[in-house]
Amino acid sequence: MPAPRATAFSRRDMLRLTATAGLVFLAGGMILPGNAQAETFAMPPLPYPENALEPVISARTVSFHYGKHEKAYFDNANKLVADTPLAGQPLEKVFLEAGKDPKMVGLFNNTAQAWNHVFYWNGLKAGGPAPSGKLAKAIDASFGSLDGCKKALSEAAATQFGSGWAWLVAGPDGKLKVVKTGNAGNPLQEGLKPLWTLDVWEHAYYLDYQNRRPEYIQAVLDKLVNWDFVAKNLG
């Protein structure tokens, strides 16, 4: 499959893509599967070529992570949602509703993981600018400094036992904070607004870093955070 164009999408470009591909464009610049075709979640393309995150994350890791792991979540989600009352609903609504029903744990795990992964990829960018404006002020107010924000994210990611995610979120009061979730957990389940996430499942880093999770975490925080994406999600 040919790699996507290595150019930044403007908001107009994204809107045009969503209109032609049956996707939903969310506030914050994120593209998620829509329900133009009932019961089908379309897996969005990566927003950059597989080698765009090197040397922090190798093309080999991206290929396996996106092409195998994420694809499996989307494939399973489509199988599991069929013939349920949630068929034809947007991905976000499906995982939030499925997460309330222990009998739908498989559907929750796969739809939430599909959502989480799309969000993760959109939050990464090599060589992007530092936070500015409203986001920079919010970070300073909540963490004291950008370094304080990165430290909180690093600690959450490093101390998440087993598989899971570290998140930068906005609470109902608008204040920023860092939370972590296990497995397929998502802050939306707690009424929090996701702004950015770091995947700490082993498949996200093991080919490049083996058991050196802290090294992966620090490299991503120092070199790959797409602060423009975070700012758009903050609004």
Q: Is 203 annotated in some ligand binding site?
A: yes
**Predicted confidence (pLDDT) per residue in 170-193, tens digit:** 999 999 999 999 999 999 999 999
Residues 202-225 have a mean pLDDT of 98
- 199 a known binding residue? yes
Q: pLDDT digits over 56-111, tens only?
A: 999 999 999 999 999 999 999 999 999 899 999 999 999 999 999 999 999 999 99
Question: Are 56 and 219 spatial neighbours (Cβ–Cβ below 8 Å)?
Answer: yes
Residue 69 known to bind ligand: no
**Containing domain of residue 77, as a range?**
11-48+58-122
DSSP assigned state of 124: B
Tally of structural domains, the chain: 2
In a domain, 95, yes or no: yes
Q: Is residue 4 part of a domain?
A: no
Q: Which of 122, 148, 175 finishes a domain?
A: 122
Domain-ending residue, one of 88, 122, 156: 122
Whether the Cβ atoms of residue 7 and residue 210 lie closer than 8 Å to each other: no
